[in-house]
Structures are given as structure tokens and as C-alpha cells.
């Protein structure tokens, strides 16, 4: 069982060119969410064991985020079990890298357009014949970006090692040569270059003694990420539900306000219509006062009824036949007329009458006067 870092490395080797940068960024972003101890257990850090041949001895160093730390110096030839014995159990799963001295590699700096960064290895394969005396069949090579310039170009460095020299260095390791995850190189100042001269097909990842724990922690990390995503989604749903409830409440309030406003408008319009109807006809007091002044003293009113625009008067009078003349030319009604025949009353020695008239108001009178003025011929 390999580490997660090994699986990612194998996946990166199979993805199309140009997508490696995104995969590296995505993997680093996910790994940054985990504590450093977990990243080490899962193999997501760049920790590695550096092996450097110095004559008949092998220097072993541990490289982590803090730098290189010397671990041991072992005699050559070396058995794989001898290295395991001197390593801390926590370091046994780290990948093994062979470091080549500065005098065994050839380095060339090149200035390339920024678009070459996505296919840097392919570009360097083309430049290999032009910049070095070697071909792709005679040497192993790799390249890295040293600097991105402000003018849009990149400064890259090509690192090449002849295959024959690489094989000599690997043979000095004995059985450990088959467990290498990479071959790097150092400068004359001892700086480790960011290259891997070992072909992708020959790279090996060491088995982790705590791989079960690593996979468990990886599953836990994935579950935590999924839970965090679900929690964010649930928070969004709750916020959306609260917003929808707020919108419904505001809409209900707006509907109630609109109904109350319409009721107020209807009330105002009804009051205006009532006021208009009242203004269009005389009041009862005005009608009674007008009748008191026009009816003679020997006339008695038994019933007075106002139904809409119709005035109905029933009573007894000694001058019933002359009541129509008295009722004419009033400002409160028009067209007075007797309804039915006069009936003598034997008890009072008077005639019983029923008289009707059409009520008019100031508005009707003004309209009639205006019409009369308009119809009057000009002199």
C-alpha cells in the first residue's frame, strides 16, 4: 500500500500536460487545511530522506519544512535493513532521494515565454540537443522555474546528468537503488535543486508502516471536508428560508395596508357620494318650512312622505282645488299635481286630497337656471 502522496504522484504522471499546475495547487490547498502532524502521517508534506554518496560512505539526511537535518553516516556497500535500523519509525515511510554532487550534472539557464511554463519538460526536451552535447537517449534531464519576470517571461534552469554517470551513482547504493523516489542534485554551495532526474517509470514510493492510520486519517479529513461543505450549504438554506419568510411577512403586511387603504378610499368616496346626494335635494326641515308657508290655515296634513326625489302629501283642506297654484314656483320642488280625485270627508266637511311633487335641490336649480339662460334668445 502506497502513501497518498505516491498516489497523487502517479495520478500527476497520467494527467494531460498543462493540468499539473492546477492539480498541484488544488492538492496543496486541501493539504493546508490539515494540521502539520496529519500531513506528515498522510505523506502530504515534502519530507524526504536525502542520500549522498561520499567515497565509501553514505550520508543520510532528513529534509522537512525546516531544512536538512543529518541523521547518520553509513559505510558502503549498504543493505536496506541497515538503513531501516538507524531510522526513527516515523521516518521509515519517507521517500528516498539520491543527491548527485554538483560536478556530475550540467546546468543551463534559459529565458522562455510564460506560456512555456505549462509544458516546461517538453520544451526542455527540444532544447536539450541545442544547449548540451547530449540527446534524450544519452542523459536524464529535468527543469524548474527559477524566476518569473515582470516582462512576462520566465527564467528556467535545465539540469542534465549522463545516464552512465547516473547508473554509477545508483550502483553505489546497492539494494537501495531500487527504492528511490527521485534523483536530485546539489549546487557547489550545497543547495538542493528543485528537480527530479529519475524517470517517472522508475520512481518508487516506500511503504508506510502506519498506512492504515494514514488512510483512516485521510477518510476522516475527507469526511470533515464534506461535513463542512454540507454545513455551509445548510446555513445557506436556512438563510434562504428566513429570507423567504421575511418576504412573505412583508408581502402580507403590504397586502393588509393595501386593503386598509382601499377601505379608506371607499369610505371617502361613499361619504362624498352621500354628501352629494344630500346637496342634490332639500332637507326635511326646509320642506316642512316651505309647506307651512304655502299651505292655507284650513289645510291639515295627515301624511308627509319623502321617497327619493318624490314628495307625497296626504291631507284635508277646504281649498284642495287651489293647492296646486299655491305649490307652484317653489325652489324645493317642481311639477306639483293632485293624484286621484278629491274625496269629501263628511266628518270634517273638507276634501281629502293626495298631492305629489318632484323634489329639486340647489344643484338642479342652478343647472335649470343655466339652461334657461342659454335657451333665452339674444336681443
Mean pLDDT of 364-372: 51
Give residue 261's domain range: 209-280
Closest CA to 351 of 359, 360, 342: 342
- For residues 209 and 93, the answer to whether their CB atoms sit within 8 Å is yes
Give dist(CA 46, CA 338) in Å, integer. Answer: 121
Rounded-to-integer distance, Cα 351 and Cα 342, Å: 6
CA angle 28, 30, 31 (to 5 degrees): 60
pLDDT over 70 (residue 105)? yes
* Phi, psi dihedrals of residue 222, rounded to the nearest 5°: -65, -40
Q: Are residues 199 and 63 in the same domain?
A: yes
Number of domains in the chain: 3
Which pLDDT belongs to residue 2? 47
Residues 178, 54, single domain; the answer is yes
Mean pLDDT is lowest, of 119-133, 211-225, 277-291, 339-353, for 211-225
Q: Which pLDDT belongs to residue 379?
A: 39
Closest CA to 22 of 126, 112, 117: 117
The pLDDT assigned to 161 comes to: 93
Average confidence (pLDDT) over 80-108 = 85
Which residues lie across from 142 on neighbouring strands? 159
Q: 34 CB contacts (<8 Å, ≥6 apart)?
A: 42, 44, 221
Mean pLDDT along residues 153-160: 94
**Among 37-46, 246-255, 334-343, which range has the highest average pLDDT?**
246-255
Report the CATH number that the domain containing residue 297 is assigned in CATH: 3.30.1360
Tell me whether residue 252 is in a domain.
Answer: yes
Last residue of a domain, one of 207, 235, 254: 207
Average pLDDT value for the chain: 81
198 within 8 A of 111, measured Cβ to Cβ: no
Q: How far apart (Å, rounded) are the C-alpha atoms in residues 352 and 344?
A: 6
From 58-67, 140-149, 159-168, 272-281, the region with the lowest mean pLDDT: 272-281
Q: Is residue 307 pLDDT above 70, yes or no?
A: yes
**377 pLDDT more than 60:** no
In this prediction, residues 225-251 reach a mean pLDDT of 91
264 or 277, higher pLDDT: 264
Residue 30 pLDDT: 61
Tell me: do 142 and 63 sit in the same domain.
yes
4 occurs within a structural domain = no
106, 215: one domain: no
Give every CB contact of residue 120 below 8 A, 6+ residues apart in sequence.
112, 143, 144, 145, 156
pLDDT tens-place string over residues 5-32: 555 455 455 544 444 455 555 555 665 6
Closest CA to 345 of 321, 318, 313: 318
Asked whether residue 93 falls in the same domain as residue 186, the answer is yes
Phi first, then psi: give them for residue 275, nearest 5 degrees. Answer: -60, -40
Q: Which parts of the chain fold into alpha helices (H)? A: 4-14, 20-31, 36-42, 80-86, 120-131, 163-171, 211-279, 284-294, 323-327, 362-375
Burial 124-144 (b: 16+ CB within 10 A, else e): beebbeebbebeeeebbbbbe
pLDDT of residue 18: 46
Amino acid at each position: 500500500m502506497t502513501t497518498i502522496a505516491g498516489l497523487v504522484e502517479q495520478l500527476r504522471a497520467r494527467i494531460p500536460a498543462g493540468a499539473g499546475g492546477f492539480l498541484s495547487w488544488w492538492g496543496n490547498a486541501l493539504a493546508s487545511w490539515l494540521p502539520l502532524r496529519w500531513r506528515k502521517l498522510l505523506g502530504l508534506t515534502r519530507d524526504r530522506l536525502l542520500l549522498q554518496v561520499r567515497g565509501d560512505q553514505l550520508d543520510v539526511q532528513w529534509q522537512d519544512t525546516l531544512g536538512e537535518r543529518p541523521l547518520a553516516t553509513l559505510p558502503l556497500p549498504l543493505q536496506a535493513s541497515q538503513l531501516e535500523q538507524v531510522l526513527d519509525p516515523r521516518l521509515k515511510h519517507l521517500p528516498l532521494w539520491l543527491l548527485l554532487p554538483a560536478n556530475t550534472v550540467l546546468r543551463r539557464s534559459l529565458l522562455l515565454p510564460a506560456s512555456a511554463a505549462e509544458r516546461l519538460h517538453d520544451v526542455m526536451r527540444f532544447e536539450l540537443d541545442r544547449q548540451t552535447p547530449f540527446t534524450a537517449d544519452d542523459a536524464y534531464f529535468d527543469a524548474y522555474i527559477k524566476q518569473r519576470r515582470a516582462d512576462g517571461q520566465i527564467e528556467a534552469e535545465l539540469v542534465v546528468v549522463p545516464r552512465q554517470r547516473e547508473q554509477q551513482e545508483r550502483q553505489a547504493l546497492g539494494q537501495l537503488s531500487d527504492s528511490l523516489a527521485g534523483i536530485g542534485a546539489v549546487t557547489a554551495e550545497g543547495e538542493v535543486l528543485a528537480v527530479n532526474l529519475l524517470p517517472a517509470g522508475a520512481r518508487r514510493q516506500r511503504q508506510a508502516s502506519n498506512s492504515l492510520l494514514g488512510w483512516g486519517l485521510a477518510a476522516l479529513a475527507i469526511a470533515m471536508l464534506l461535513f463542512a461543505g454540507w454545513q455551509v450549504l445548510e446555513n445557506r438554506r436556512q438563510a434562504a428560508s428566513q429570507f423567504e419568510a421575511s418576504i412573505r411577512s412583508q408581502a402580507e403586511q403590504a397586502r393588509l395596508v393595501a386593503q386598509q387603504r382601499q377601505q379608506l378610499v371607499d369610505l371617502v368616496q361613499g361619504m362624498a357620494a352621500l354628501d352629494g346626494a344630500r346637496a342634490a335635494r332639500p332637507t326635511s326641515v326646509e320642506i316642512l318650512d316651505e309647506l307651512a308657508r304655502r299651505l292655507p290655515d284650513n289645510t291639515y296634513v295627515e301624511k308627509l312622505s319623502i321617497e327619493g326625489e318624490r314628495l307625497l302629501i296626504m291631507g284635508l283642506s277646504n281649498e284642495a282645488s287651489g293647492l296646486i297654484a299655491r305649490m307652484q314656483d317653489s325652489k324645493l320642488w317642481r311639477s306639483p299635481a293632485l293624484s286621484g280625485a278629491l274625496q269629501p270627508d263628511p266628518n270634517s266637511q273638507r276634501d281629502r286630497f293626495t298631492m305629489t311633487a318632484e323634489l329639486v335641490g340647489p344643484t338642479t336649480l342652478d343647472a335649470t337656471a343655466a339652461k334657461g339662460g342659454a335657451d333665452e334668445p339674444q336681443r
